[in-house]
Amino acid sequence: MHTEWVCFRMDSFLLSRVTMKNLSFIWMAMLLMPAACIEIPDLAVPPETLPGSDAGTGPQEQEPIGIQWVSPVEGATVGSIVRFQIQLTGPAPDSVELLVDGTAVATLEEPFVLDWDTQSISEGPHAFVIRARQGVQEFLSTPRQLMTDRTKPRMVAQAPLNDASEVSSLATVEATFSEALDPTTVNEQSVQLMVETTRLEAAVLLSGDGRTLTLNPTSPLPVNQRVRVVIADTVADFAGNKLDSASLDWSWLVPTHLHLGAPLTAFPGRSHIESASYGMGADLRPIVAWTDAGEETLKVYVRRWSGSSWEALGTPMSSGRVTNAYQCALQVDVDGKLTVVWFENMNFKDYEWFVRRWNGQSFEPLGPTLTPVVQGASVMDWRLAQGAHPYLTLASLEAGDGWQRIYVRQWRDGTWGQLGAGIELRANSIVDSFSMDVDGQGYPLVVLREQIGGIPSNTAMRWTGTAWQDIGSTLSGRSTALSFDASNAPLVATLDTLTGKPRTLLQKWTGGAWEPWGGALEALPGVDSTTVASVKLDTQGRPVVALHGVTGNDLNRSGKGQVRRWNGTQWEALGGILNPSPGMIPYSRPMLGMVSDDEPLLTWIEMPPPVYSVGGRVHVYRLNH
């Protein structure tokens, strides 16, 4: 090594162990010091640090090692496994290590890519540094602050709920997650709306914060189907954590009908519902009356649909005697006047009907309490009708020793009056069907079927204004419901077996005979028998019927319903099959109502099996569309 002697003055500054990186700095220092003579060796000038290098600050007696981060980027969120990738410049290192919060945790081998398991550190923020060693020297990268997240995102809210049984065909499909999802993993392939193996077209949207997933179907969801959302296991959060497996699939039922408000009961969980009646107010909003008892006698309850919920009309009604209000019926006239009638008896005698009319604030008596026409007679059955006119009509099937008659009374001019003589039935006959309705003039029609020795015969008696006219000679089958068309022609729904198998027909009185109106109604699928439970006319005068099908004949029997309309050439379904709510069975036939735009409503009583169990409710259904 070549040596030069330089004289200058020296103090403790030059005794420092600080390495001079620059000769000009040394010469400047010598000029500023008192003279002295020392031996100065030739100094090699190390190369400048490469621009952009993350080289550390170790001893620089030789060319430094530059450390460049490739991945992950600063501030990234990493999961259970994180890939570290770096690039080195300068001489080859003896070793390269990963430091977490200052502690070496792993070694990187060439080509300096490491998939590292984060299980040894806690979740949350940490400082990551790469350290390269060469001999006694070490070089450090700039630190990278990374957020460690090993928790799988999970679904914390969903609409519809998983296994929901009553979902609108227009429902919004939405899920909220515990943390943001990576939007690059969410698309119409990774998130799909399905019915069995068929995919439903739907737009897949992820909210700005990444936590809310929305599916917008391009058309209403199919009814009477189970719809499900299927999420692929490629959907993950920003750390790469895949969804919790419980969040990958959820499903719900889209029924053909939805409840109109909550099912009706006065004693949730312990009600005993004996009967229900249904009518439409002048505002085309439904009204329901039913008899209900919890731990007391049966009373009559009335609710009216407000447009958003069922509101109570008046207080529960009964005679106040220690007996039950076994049956109830309601009627609403064209002016919107609501009348409720219920029936009581004491020990199968002392039969009485109580009539109450709604005055806008409460129910008040309408006339005196009614008793059988024949004193001491037994009441076997009864019907109430009114129609659009104000003439409330009550028909009672009364029986005594060796006789049976039907008496019809009508409320006119503030009093109850009997219409003609009693309609005589055959002695000891069995009445297996009994219907009554009134036409637009207030004239009633009574239709029934009797059997003696298994041989049936029909009776159809129409009030002419002065007497009863028998028009039943050509009526076939067992009547199940009746009504009138716009011209006051009677309509009777029947179930007959003239063709050797049951046929459900709607028959119309033409003035001289009963003739089918429309073809036979196709039976409901999967039932033992199908009958017409109700008949109405829509605003265009077309007949609309509520069908009732029964399955089984024991105490666990169930049933179905459906609405159909005659369009002039065939019976068309208005909605699909009505099934009872899960875990319930129908106790009554469906009652039909028509709201605005000829929208049908179906009402029946449902209860837990077996029949006659407590816990029944009145259910009002609308179409799901």
CA distance 404 to 379: 10
Confidence of residue 498 (pLDDT cuts 50, 70, 90): low
- Helices (H) then strands (E): counts for the chain: 1, 49
CA dihedral (41, 44, 49, 55) in degrees, to 10, reads -60
Query: Could you give the CA distance from residue 245 to residue 231 in angstroms, rounded to a whole number?
Result: 10
Strand 198-200: give its sheet, edge to edge. 198-200, 191-195, 225-231, 249-254
pLDDT at 36 over 70: no
AA letter at 379: V
Between 187 and 5, residue with greater pLDDT = 187
66-148 maps to CATH 2.60.120.10: no
Q: Which helix (H) or strand (E) holds 478?
A: strand 478-484
pLDDT grade, residue 499 (50/70/90)? low
Lowest mean pLDDT among 4-18, 455-469, 502-516: 4-18
Does 12 have pLDDT greater than 80?
no
pLDDT digits (tens, 9 = 90+) for 522-565: 999 999 889 999 999 999 999 999 999 998 888 888 999 999 99
Calculate mean pLDDT across residues 561-583: 94
- What is the residue-wise DSSP string for 512-523? SSEEESSSPBPP
Name the band, by pLDDT with cuts 50, 70 and 90, for residue 44. very low
pLDDT at 11 over 90: no
- Assign residue 205 a region: left if phi > 0, alpha if psi is -120 to 50, beta otherwise? beta
Distance CA 127, CA 31 (A): 45
Q: Is the peptide bond before 72 cis (omega within 30 degrees of 0)?
A: yes
Is-contact 592 563, C-beta < 8 A? Answer: yes
Q: Is the pLDDT of residue 41 over 60?
A: no
In whole angstroms, what is the distance from residue 255 CA to residue 166 CA? 6
Whether 361 has a pLDDT exceeding 60, the answer reads yes
Neighbours of 294 (CB within 10 A): 16
Query: What pLDDT, on the 0 to 100 scale, is given for residue 367?
Result: 94
Q: Give mean pLDDT, residues 359-386.
A: 94
Residue 39 clears pLDDT 90, i.e. is over it:
no
Cβ(484)–Cβ(389) below 8 Å: no
| pLDDT (0 to 100) of residue 497 | 73
Using the predicted structure, report yes or no on whether residue 6 has a pLDDT greater than 80.
no
Tokens (6 digits) for 285? 């909003």
The pLDDT score that the predictor gives to residue 321 is 84
The per-residue pLDDT of the chain, averaged, comes to 88
* Confidence (pLDDT) at 553: 81
Give the Cα separation of 561 and 131 in Å (integer).
77
Nearest residue to 340 via CA among 352, 327, 350, 351: 327
Please tell me whether the overall predicted TM-score, pTM, comes out greater than 0.85 for this model: no
The pLDDT of residue 22? 40
Distant-in-sequence contacts of 373-382, Cβ < 8 A, 24+ apart:
373/398, 373/407, 373/409, 373/418, 373/422, 374/398, 374/400, 374/405, 374/407, 376/400, 378/348, 378/349, 378/351, 379/343, 379/345, 379/351, 380/404, 380/431, 381/431, 381/434, 382/327, 382/343, 382/353
CATH 2.60.40.1220 fits domain 155-255: yes
Q: Which tens digits make up the pLDDT trace of 127-161? A: 999 999 999 999 999 999 999 999 999 999 999 99
* Residue ranges per structural domain of the chain: 3-41, 66-148, 155-255, 381-392+406-520
pLDDT of 185 > 50? The answer is yes
Residue with tokens 């009706």: 264
For residue 480, what pLDDT is reported? Answer: 94
